[in-house]
Amino acid sequence: MAYLPILKTESETLPAKILVVGDPKRLDMVAGSLKDVEPISQNREYHSIRGSFNGQIIGAVSHGVGSAGAGVCFEELCQSGATRIVRAGSAGGMQANVSAGDVVVATAAVREEGLSHKLVPPTYPAIATPDVLMAMRAAASSHGVEFHEGLLLTSDMFYPHDLLGSDLPLWQKAGVKAVEMEVATLFVICGLHGVEAGAVVAIDGNPLEQDAGSMETYDPHQEKVKTAVSNSLLIALTALVS
């Protein structure tokens, strides 16, 4: 047994299978899909609960926004004895056919964040575990959810500035499906610990296409985005216990 100082709990309180989300409030949505829900701890943006899904005990933990803070969470989860961690999050579409309300299952992620480069050389891949990826495909199919599959871009930048601009057009040309802020970090840390990992994201806009590079039209609170969030959580939970 080990104490996890940032998650503020003992390692034995966390199940081996963990769902991670960014927003602590999203844990309320997760709790609605679980039975016998119990709170574990709260510290800053790191909130933890446990409960039963499809007859299996799982944990759910929030990690906030961005790779550095999320990496603290992922590291402590791996140290606690987690065997599978799945992230359900939000992202911006980067292809013309990836729009608000869509769902994307990640095969791998581009490491454009900073933390993973402090842990391992840049040639180390950030990839989803094949078994988890297959479980997500099966989960989406069983729940009748249409989805895209492919690469995510994990970036530390949300608001670009004119001085250096944005590299999103480059990654769009490279075929990346969507951009978010934590998945590459999850895949790298889990890879280093030998922990299975996967990710599915709900698309809440498209910074290059529909939104034409302007944040003025960005609206992550549309009903179709809420539906995509619900679908992504269902896929993630089902894959987690498969």
Cite the active site residues. Answer: 204
Give the Cα separation of 197 and 105 in Å (integer).
Answer: 12
104, 129, 178, 194 from 134: Cα distances, Å: 14, 9, 20, 18
Radius of gyration of the chain (CA): 17
Amino acid present at 49: I
User: What stretch of H or E contains 128?
Assistant: none
Q: Can you give the three-state secondary structure of 47-105, one letter per residue?
A: EEEEEEECCEEEEEEECCCCHHHHHHHHHHHHHCCCCEEEEEEEEEECCCCCCCCCEEE
